[in-house]
Homo-oligomer: A and B are copies of this chain.
Amino acid sequence: MSVIMHTVHVDLAERSYPVYIGRDLLAEPQLLLQHLRGREVAIVSNTTVAPLYMPRLRAALGEGRRVTEIILPDGEQHKTLATLEHILECLLADRHSRSTTLIALGGGVVGDVAGFAAACYQRGVDFIQVPTTLLAQVDSSVGGKTAVNHVLGKNMIGAFHQPQAVLIDTNSLHTLPARELSAGLAEVIKYGLICDADFYLWLQQVMPRLIGRDDSALAEAIERSCALKAAVVAADEREGGLRAILNLGHTFGHAIETAQGYGSWLHGEAVAVGMLLAVHLSAARGWVDPCEIDVLSSLLRQAQLPLDIPAGMSPKLFLDLMGRDKKVVDGRLRLVLLRSIGEACLVDDVSASELEGLLQGAVARVKSAG
């Protein structure tokens, strides 16, 4: 193979799998073919991504296969049980057997709902991820989480279902809208904050190159992010404890997404604001230096990400929505905070008044900015 490729191994015993990262990987059929065990393939994509990359993927699959294309409408608002049902119906109508392989070609929404379909169809079939957004590449394609949303909560219905392989063709980032590139960078920044201070420093240096879509900087950021996530997931596949640190900023972020309706704020944008809230709280507890608030604010700004909660979102609404989070255990809210930059911890002793103070501060910043 003549392409430059990095491989991250996700180590999960008999469910281990490789993540291939590089340019033009879709033009390398053998990467895909070695992971297909039957003749049947179903490709799930969406109306935005399919016109751009479906022909290349079909070409890589070669002749002699029975391929079903399932094209979803684009957007987080379609990550629902109804879409799941549509995929399952297409598989049934085309009589896919247990030896079929589902391939998700698209961003996090396509990967999450197609992965859940692969988990449910005939109680589980093979699955390959071809993530085409930065967010999906560094986050949802590693770790086996699949899910759909419900009006009462995000990612509340789903399964753990590990893929056979993940194929990240960095070419796809050149067609990605700027806002989605930024949303992906929020998750990249997260890995630095929770478990790698050196990576966090490196990001502060290369952010202009990342925003400028420099290929080698992007490939390195993706590889390091996937490797950090893979290490966390390998240590805790089913989120018994450690894995929860990957949710830095997510409890606040999910509340924002739910309040605004899915699809209005991008996931990464909500997480960016959530991470900054978590750093505020960590600084208020004396765990990180208050100047880290400015460092992160500056980095998020360079990454063209929002810093403030949505105008008009009250502390009460936040608290109400956060009470529905999956991280609530026996009525206690668990939050990911930072002990220091590069070291996250899970706490369950955040008091209502501590949260209210934090959120009132956030509301005040919105008002002063607006």
Contact = CB atoms under 8 A, between A and B. Distances in A.
A14 to B, nearest CB: 11
A89 interface: yes
Interface in A126-183: 145-147, 150, 152-153, 156-160
Contact of A124 (B40, B93, B152, B160): B160
A99 interface: yes
Closest 3 A/B residue pairs (Cβ): A92-B152, A123-B158, A97-B328
Given A120-B159, A124-B160, A160-B124, A92 B150 contact: yes
Most chain B Cβ neighbours within 10 Å, of A122, A124, A328, A331? A122
A121 B324 CA distance: 13
A326 B89 contact: no
A124 B330 contact: no
**Copies of the chain in the assembly:** 2
A323 B92 CA distance: 11
A85 interface: yes
Q: Which of A92, A120, A158 has the most CB of B within 10 A?
A: A120
A211 to B, nearest CB: 34
A120 B157 contact: yes
A159 B124 contact: yes
Nearest to A146: B123
Interface in A2-44: 38-40
A88 interface: yes
A158 B88 contact: no
Contacts of A40: 330
A140 to B, nearest CB: 13
A156 B329 CA distance: 33
25 contacts: A39-B330, A39-B331, A81-B85, A88-B150, A89-B150, A92-B150, A92-B152, A93-B152, A95-B323, A95-B324, A95-B328, A97-B328, A97-B329, A97-B330, A97-B331, A99-B330, A120-B157, A120-B159, A122-B326, A123-B159, A123-B160, A123-B238, A124-B159, A124-B160, A159-B159
Contacts of A153: 92
A119 interface: yes
Contacts of A157: 88, 120-122
B152 A89 contact: yes
Given A40-B330, A152-B93, A147 B123 contact: yes
Given A81-B81, A98-B329, A88 B159 contact: no
Interface in A266-295: none
